[in-house]
Amino acid sequence: MDKYRVKQGQTINLEDWDANEISLFPEGKKAAKDKTKKLNKKLEALQELLYAEHKQKVLVVLQALDTGGKDGTIRAVFEGVNPAGVKVASFKVPTAIESDHDFLWRIHQHTPGKGEIVIFNRSHYEDVLVVRVHNLVDKDIWKKRYDHINNFEKMLTDEGATIIKIFLHISKDEQKERLQERWDVPEKNWKFSSGDLKERALWDEYQKAYEDVLEKTSTDYAPWYIIPANRNWYRNYLISSILVKKLESLNMEYPLPEDGLDNIEIE
Ligand code: ADP
């Protein structure tokens, strides 16, 4: 999976990253789906262990352009995982009270506690993406945010969090097809908004803003992964694999039973 991890300080040109590629699973869709099901089972067991051990905290940051597949990823990758130990925090346009505070204020209260996995569906990165592309605050302000973000994430990891950041990378053609589908399929119409077309017109600006995010905020302690996401099955397989590997590396253990239970008999 290292292939998709952005190394600290690496220069990123998203045109060099093929959103269609499936090199780690050339066997194709059916085999990948079977494998992802097995990974789901593993993730389910690892989440149970994380919850029981009550030491580690896991934060998954999911970012993508419109139609990038954030919702589908959450549904597929966390299928079967006990909802009691997993939370999704979705970040929309800030409310009036959120806007009155610094950009991390609303974020911090949703970071995971011990034993929890939290998935950020959008995140503090919107404050250097949509905010930058639409000039919602002055450049002087947003350009300092990369450092603020790195410091914030360092603090979270120093305090015991594991952070995995996922960028779902789709191509412009793929976005066109997905928007068209939202328009054509009645059950998907609700997802279509004219705003999506305005955002699509800013495709190049968003690519540039994402490149800066990936270059400036992929660190050893909180790395970004650029996931080729034109094919949902490959995307799901990769993300499930990354999460399972990461959780396995935490060397978690079930807590020992309390002392003095050896002679207990349950009648
Ligand atoms: P999603 O597209 O994530 O499924 P929505 O359609 O409700 O959900 O879109 C959420 C919107 O909120 C997006 O357009 C996103 O850019 C916007 N948003 C999120 N965070 C911020 C922010 N900090 N400042 C401005 N807009 C934001």
Domain count of the fold of the chain: 1
Ligand 1 pocket check for 91: Cβ under 6 Å: yes
In a domain, 243, yes or no: yes
Which three-class secondary structure string do you get for 82-117?
CHHHEEEEECCCCCHHHHCCCCCHHHHCCCCCCCCE
Mean pLDDT per 10-residue segment, the chain (267 residues): 95 98 93 96 97 97 97 95 94 98 98 98 98 98 98 98 98 97 92 92 98 98 98 98 98 91 84
What pLDDT score does 231 carry? Answer: 98
CATH code of the domain in which 26 resides: 3.40.50.300
What pLDDT score does 102 carry? Answer: 98
In a domain, 256, yes or no: no
In a domain, 204, yes or no: yes
Q: Give the range of the structural domain holding residue 237, as residue numbers without chain letter.
A: 2-248
| Residue tagged 């002087």 (tokens) | 140
In a domain, 230, yes or no: yes
In a domain, 255, yes or no: no
Tokens encoding 150: 């790195």
Alpha carbon of 71 to ligand 1 centroid (Å): 13
Ligand 1 pocket check for 95: Cβ under 6 Å: no
Alpha carbon of 122 to ligand 1 centroid (Å): 7
Task: Provide the CA 40 distance to its chain's centre, in angstroms.
Answer: 16
In a domain, 266, yes or no: no
Q: Which of 237, 256, 257 is nearest to 43 (CA)?
A: 237
Neighbours of 160 (CB within 10 A): 12
In a domain, 261, yes or no: no
Alpha carbon of 51 to ligand 1 centroid (Å): 30
In a domain, 264, yes or no: no
For the chain, percent helix, then strand, then coil, each to nearest 5? 50, 10, 35
